[in-house]
Amino acid sequence: MKITYYGHACLGIEIEDIRLIVDPFISGNPKAKHIDLEAIRADYILLTHAHGDHVLDVEAIVKNNPEAVIVSNAEITDYYADKGFQTHPMNHGGSWKFDFGKLKYTIAIHSSSFPDGTYGGQPGGFVIESKNKNIYIAGDTALTYDFKLIAMRTKLDLAILPIGNNFTMGIDDAVIASEFLECDKVMGYHYDTFGYIEIDHEYAVKRFYEKGKDLMLLSIGEAIEL
Ligand code: NI
Ligand code: MN
């Protein structure tokens, strides 16, 4: 599994020859100017919730990838199905076997409405259980005790957690989240994009390290192989 960080909460995930894009927000991110949105190929578009900083580039990606299937909660997929896009509706706690692995839509403590005011259902995250590796993409969320439930069901190889504070949990809560998730490998996201969510990188890495955990803060465009 290859994971590319496209900035903010946007991820590219390749599982064998299947390509997923999560929460596309590139054209609106001044820090991601070097990412070529037009070049992104996707078989699936996973959306955690409807906020603009997670769905801004859905249309642009579908234009270049008309067969891409949008996977999210039913309110979000209804919104895109009305535009004629391919969709797969889910809701919290449900999982489905896709060709890239088993995907579960998990709970998140946050809000979710589209930039045009349309109700976007309840926000979520995703657990992906692929052939070899299991990852959790938390979406925008507060720290919640429910993270323990994810660890009860899935042995995670990587947790992708928001660490920017203000709109989501911050560094110290994310350390506790990684303990609840029983996962020592963490990738931080949803930080530094704008003023409210700027973080101290050194402090963040140190806080995780003190608990025996590895925090990865990728450059925008950088990829890791799991
Ligand atoms: Ni949000
Ligand atoms: Mn957000």
Helix residue spans in the chain (DSSP H) = 52-55, 58-64, 74-81, 147-153, 171-180, 201-210
Distance 177 CA to ligand 2 centre (A): 18
Tell me the C-alpha distance between 143 and 141, whole Å.
Answer: 7
- Residues 216-221 have a mean pLDDT of 98
Q: pLDDT (tens digit, 9 = 90+) per residue, 116-137?
A: 999 999 999 999 999 989 999 9
pLDDT (mean) for 148-157: 98
pLDDT tens digits along 2-57: 999 999 999 999 999 999 999 999 999 999 999 999 999 999 999 999 999 999 99
Residue entry with tokens 């955690």: 48
The pLDDT of residue 152 is: 98
Distance 51 CA to ligand 1 centre (A): 5
Question: Each residue of 82-116: pLDDT tens digit?
Answer: 999 999 999 999 999 999 999 999 999 999 999 99
Work out the mean pLDDT of the chain and round it to a whole number. 98
d(CA 166, CA 45): 26
At residue 189 the predicted structure's pLDDT band, cuts being 50, 70 and 90, is: very high
CATH T-level assignment (fold) for domain 2-225? Metallo-beta-lactamase; Chain A (3.60.15)
Q: How far is the CA of 168 from the centre of ligand 2 (A)?
A: 8
**Ligand 2 center–CA 61 separation, angstroms:** 19
* Nearest-ligand number for the alpha carbon of 113: 1
CA of residue 161 to ligand 1 center, whole Å? 13
- Return the pLDDT at 84: 98
Measured over all CA atoms, what is the biggest interatomic distance in the chain, rounded to whole angstroms? Answer: 49
CB neighbourhood size of 91 (10 A): 13
